[in-house]
Structure 1
Amino acid sequence: MSARRDPEGGGEDEDPASGAGDRLLVVRAAEGDEEAFEVLVRRHGAAALQLAERLMGSRAEAEDAVQDAFVSAWRKLPEFRGEAGFGTWLHRIVTNRCLNLLRARRPVADLDTVPEPAAPGHRSSPVRAAESHAAARDLDLAMRCLSTQQRVCWVLREIEGRSYESIAHTVRISPEAVRARVFRARRVLTEAMAAWR
Structure 2
Amino acid sequence: MDKEQIERLVVEIKASGSLEGFGMVIEQLQQPIFTYCYHMLGHRQEAEDAVQEVFIKAYENLEKYTEVVSFSAWVYKIAYHHCLNLIKRKRIYRLVPFLNNRVPADDREEGAARVEQGQLTAPLHRALSTLSPEERNLILLRVIEEKGYEELSVLFQEKPATLRKRYERAMKKCKNQLISQKGGEMSEAFRLIR
Give the TM-score, by structure 2 length: 0.64
1:25–1:150 CA distance, 2 compared to 1 (3 A): closer
Q: Deviations over 1:145-188 (max 9, x none)?
A: 21121111122222222222322322333334322322222222
Structure number with higher relative contact order (C-alpha < 8 Å, ≥ 6 residues apart) = 1
Cα distance in structure 2, aligned partners of 1:188 and 1:25: 38
Q: Is the 8 A contact 1:29 1:36 kept in 2?
A: no
What's the RMSD between the two structures over aligned residues? Answer: 3.1
The equivalent of 2:78 in structure 1 is: 93
| 2:171 is the counterpart of 1:183 | no
CA distance in structure 1 between the aligned counterparts of 2:43 and 2:31, rounded to whole angstroms: 15
- Percent identity, please: 28
Letter of the 1:145 counterpart: T
CA distance in 2, matches of 1:75, 1:138: 37
Listed as ranges, the matches of 1:4-43 within 5 Å are: 14=2, 18-19=5-6, 22-24=7-9, 26-28=11-13, 31-43=16-28
Please give the secondary structure, in 1, of the residue aligned with 2:61.
helix
* Structure number having the greater helix percentage: 2
- How many residues get paired? 156
The answer as to 2:50 corresponding to 1:70 is: no
**Does the CA contact (< 8 Å) of 2:69 and 2:154 recur in 1?**
no
* Inter-CA distance 25–167: structure 2 relative to 1 (3 Å threshold): closer
TM-score (norm 1): 0.63
- Residue 131 of structure 2 aligns with which residue? 146
Listed one character per residue, the Cα deviations across residues 66-97 of structure 1 (whole Å, up to 9, x for unaligned) are 21111111111122333444333323322332
Query: Where does structure 2 lack aligned partners over 5 or more consecutive residues?
Result: 95-119, 184-194
Distance 1:32 1:88 in 2: 20
List alignment gaps of at least 5 residues for structure 1: 4-13, 109-134
After TM superposition, what 4+ stretches of structure 1 lie above 6 angstroms from structure 2? none
